[in-house]
Amino acid sequence: MNFSKHSLARRLKLQQIAIFDKVVSCGSLLAASRELHMTQPALSKAVQELEEHFGRALFVRTRRGVQPTDFGRMLHAHCRSLLSDLRLLADDLNAWNAGVSGQVIVGTLIAASAQLLPTAVLRLREIAPNVVVEVRVGINETMFEALARGELDVVVGLLPALDSGGTLEHVPLYEENLCAVVGRQHPLASRTSVEPAQLASADWIVPTPASEAIHPTTQFFEALGMQRPARIVESVSMLTNLGLLMQSQMIALMPFSVAREFVRLGLLSVLPLGYSSPFGRIGYTVYKGRAPSPATERLLLALRETAAASL
């Protein structure tokens, strides 16, 4: 069977594509029917029609539900792209009609989640109060993959040390430094100076190996003449790290702008090591081949304004 864009346009319906995507993400027809508020037979019919269009099975049944076939996985990759473009069309239509509406899906990293992004979101709400901002947290690798697939509009946080070009555009906003922090109850919290030798045997919280922050972390220990700590917790979860610091005598590495917010709140203390360690460039990343929606453009402007005001 040969296909063309015209034959696909005549055969396929957007609702079928949306139903197929939801069944894949939910892993079962029953769960998808609940989320879409549709009957299970109606979903089954839509899936069956797609299978008839393509002449191939899209799912195999398992004990836990359904899983896409190899053909189904290939089709789903294209469906996600179609649905992403459809969401951007909806944003453009809403922005055209109201001027200050739409949706922005943001991927963020620890370096931007405490100050830069929250402040930018508040600026955005002042000029476009009806824009819905959805924030997802992760590491660079997974966030950039989601950005390329169209599942995110922008990623905010630590930029890669080397820009290899390609389909992603990295826009730096400012340079960040790295510091060591402890909870306010820590014996070193009130010291006016701390020597690296006092830290060698401590329990540390460090970024996960897959995190872009692992490189400046290694440089931090090398600059202090320290070996990588033997007793560590690897985490890029802000809430987990904060909880560990407040309930123990662990030490964590943290971007200075993030640490400053927790110091201001009386939760953490920055250790006075007498050394300023470079962390890297903080900024945002967008996909080159996809024009930002009006709502995304407003958020990017708010990010630039926030960074400029803090310098």
Task: Write the pLDDT tens digit of every residue in 211-256.
Answer: 888 889 999 999 888 888 989 999 988 889 999 999 999 999 998 9
| CA 260 – CA 270 distance, rounded (Å) | 8
Q: Which two tokens stand for residue 71?
A: 């053909």
Query: Cα dist. 43→18, 52, 108, 253 in Å?
Result: 10, 14, 34, 49
| CA 189 – CA 94 distance, rounded (Å) | 51
Fold of 5-80: Arc Repressor Mutant, subunit A (1.10.10)
Per CATH, is 176-279 categorized as 3.40.190.10?
Answer: yes
Identical fold, 5-80 and 176-279:
no
Name the pLDDT band for 287 (thresholds 50, 70, 90).
Answer: very high
Identify which of 175, 179, 192, 158 has the alpha carbon closest to the alpha carbon of residue 252: 179
Q: What is the pLDDT of residue 194?
A: 92
Query: In the predicted model, is pLDDT for residue 99 greater than 60?
Result: no
Q: Mean pLDDT across the stretch 92-112?
A: 74
Q: Is the dihedral of CA 114, 178, 185, 273 positive or negative?
A: negative
pLDDT, greater one: 90 or 61: 61
In the chain, what are the domain boundaries? Answer: 5-80, 85-173+281-310, 176-279
Task: Write the pLDDT tens digit of every residue in 19-60.
Answer: 999 999 999 999 999 999 999 999 999 999 999 989 999 999
Per CATH, is 85-173+281-310 categorized as 3.40.190.10?
Answer: yes
Which pTM does this prediction carry? 0.68
